[in-house]
Structure 1
Amino acid sequence: MHVFKITDTLPLPKSSERIPRLGFGVYRSPPNQCKQSVRKALDAGYRHIDTAQFYANEAEVGEALRDSGMPREEVFITTKILSPAASIEATYDKLLASVHKISGPDGYVDLFLIHSSSSGSAGRKMLWQALEKLHAEGKAKSIGVSNFGVGHIEEMRSYAQVFPPHVNQIELHPWCQQRVIDDYCQRNGIIVEAYSPIVRNYKANDPTLVEIAKKNGHSTQQVLIRYALQKGWVPLPKSDTPERIVANADVFDFDLDVEDMAVLNDLDQGSAGAIVEAVNNE
């Protein structure tokens, strides 16, 4: 029996910071809608919000938190940067702009990620060194990566002052389990976050998933989020529907048994099962 609570946190590697075990994603949630959804998520018990520069709603996440009246330190906020600017200093300025949008001029973010490995070796190095500067100043409590494979992370050893990265956020669900990078991160103490954990509902009618959902008396979405939790991942379900926001957090009163987990594990299609991106591990 896996006993989890919505208030559970996990320790980040070589850090005093902890990350909530369940997060709430706001991928491309329109600005006004984003504010409403974040408020609903906070009301439902989420204490971990995941945004990005690319989503164009960082400011709204910050506004929703301030409007909620919740103390800043009680909510873990992540954002991401997609590509570097012309220099480390200019890249740092891009990072700082996000911090200001979310938490104001004297604020911070809890986690700042490189959103993609697509900038090439030089770009990734510049991004990381800018993030390290932000981290050293306390404006990012922790720093990490997203969509990085084994080779991308290993490459960082030659220059990173903060290593390993605290987090790697990748696409994860039964059809895309990314076992090579997942195993690497688990062995190296890197927290693995799962984006698209409910596969954007594309698999809601999958017969195998539906059968397991019926057996456990929960929705297919709840089964997939629970699966991610039991795999040791930090799932980041996204919804702008109030009822689903609440339901996606209601995953702590049941347990997928060994047979359920084995059946879901057998659905893996490797990189072919990705709906967004499977990492390159070379």
Structure 2
Amino acid sequence: MQGKAKAWADQIQSSFLHRYDVLPLLCTTIQKTLEYPMALTFFSHQEWDQLLSPVLRAALPKAGICRNFPRAMVYAPIALQGVGVPHPYGLQVIKHLDMLLRHPANKTKTGAFLEAVLQAHQLETGTSYGLFQQVYANTSILASDTWAKRTWSELDSLSIHLEFDSPSLQPLRQGDQLLVDLFVDSLVDQLTLKWLNWCRIFLHAVTLSDIVNAEGTAITLQAWKGLRADSCSDRYQWPRTARPSNQWWTAWQQWIST
């Protein structure tokens, strides 16, 4: 992408254009080229500034504008006395939102893939809230690095709240509770939360009832020793996980004994 931006800048510098044609040309050529893969990119604001820098330094003088003109004014809309060049970071965020909102609604294959990823994250994080309704600072450490998680991080950094209809985990018994909700409520640190959750995933446990006896009066011996019970694995397709080390099973035992 950087090579394409520099190549476009070189062509503009050696071309003869009317100054009023330069900015529309920028928005309809090189910016569209950069926009094409944005649904899958996660460049930062600064990285987009660097990528577009040679383009603007070549195009602005051709348009009769100082090449060092404040970038805040270059990216500002014309209605606010700006130049009206859309910032690619904003376009990237819009592309991500478009992916999330358009594909599931239209029942496309991409929408089906997104639904599968969100369901996997729901089981992985183990809370009663959908991925985009969770507090990123609390449970992001529990989620694998996927496109959905990076979009979640991006939206959180911009304080964008997305109401996305995704499946959630719910207790199946009266008085039952989700284990991860209990982890978070007990105010454990992030590292301990990560490993407690790993122990939970290894045991294929979602709720408190998955690790206690039928009467709900005691922790099962299997859950205490870190042995997976076959009865807990029927409801979901769990990810493959290695057994946590004894250090973290000790932390697990300390937590469930409180």
TM-score, length of structure 2 as denominator length:
0.24
Higher strand share: 1
Higher helix share: 2
Q: If you compute each CA radius of gyration, which structure gives the higher value, 1 or 2?
A: 2
